[in-house]
A and B are shown apart, each in its own frame.
Chain A
Amino acid sequence: MNHTRTDNAGKELLDQIRAIEFMTVDLNLYLDTHPNDCRAMNEYNCYVRQLQALKREYEMQYGPLANFGNAMSTCPWRWIEEPWPWEEGI
């Protein structure tokens, strides 16, 4: 099994994804009640673009972040690669 997910660069990339994704969550919640705030919406779109790029970069190197149609796989099937997130600590 491939254990590349545990390397430092992968962890750093994953931390970045978590932080950027959190910004999209918080801006999303703000925009639900402030739908005309264009500045917030521009920032939301900017973070979405960053998030997509970061996720693509991560998935190319370390395997899929989500299954059921969210990311393509190389052969052999990458979803079952170890370690699972709960096996490697944060």
Chain B
Amino acid sequence: MDRRYPGYYLSGMPNGYGSFPMRKSFELAEAYIPFQWYTTSLSPMEALQAGTMFPELVRPYEKKECEGGKAR
């Protein structure tokens, strides 16, 4: 069997996945992320508050109204 497709990996498994209908056109997932470059940093106290010293990685959790109900 062709090693490039999931059917190759799945056929050897004992739990029946090998018989799962798998089209040849499906491929295993591949992830890509951009490489980070250090430009500037927050002050130590700001960094401690934000959970990161990199301004580009600050991800504050904000309460938002969501569909079908109020924000919890």
Contact = CB atoms under 8 A, between A and B. Distances in A.
Contact of A27 (B36, B45, B53): B53
Q: For this complex, into which size category does the number of interface residues on chain B fall?
A: 10 to 19
21 contacts: A15-B45, A18-B48, A19-B44, A20-B44, A22-B47, A22-B48, A22-B53, A23-B41, A23-B44, A23-B53, A26-B53, A26-B54, A27-B53, A30-B36, A30-B38, A30-B54, A33-B36, A37-B38, A40-B38, A43-B41, A47-B44
Given A26-B53, A26-B54, A39 B38 contact: yes
**Interface majority SS (helix, strand, loop, mixed), chain B:** loop
A34 B39 CA distance: 13
Interface of A: 15-16, 18-20, 22-23, 26-27, 30, 33-34, 37, 39-40, 43, 47
Interface of B: 36, 38, 41, 44-45, 47-48, 52-54
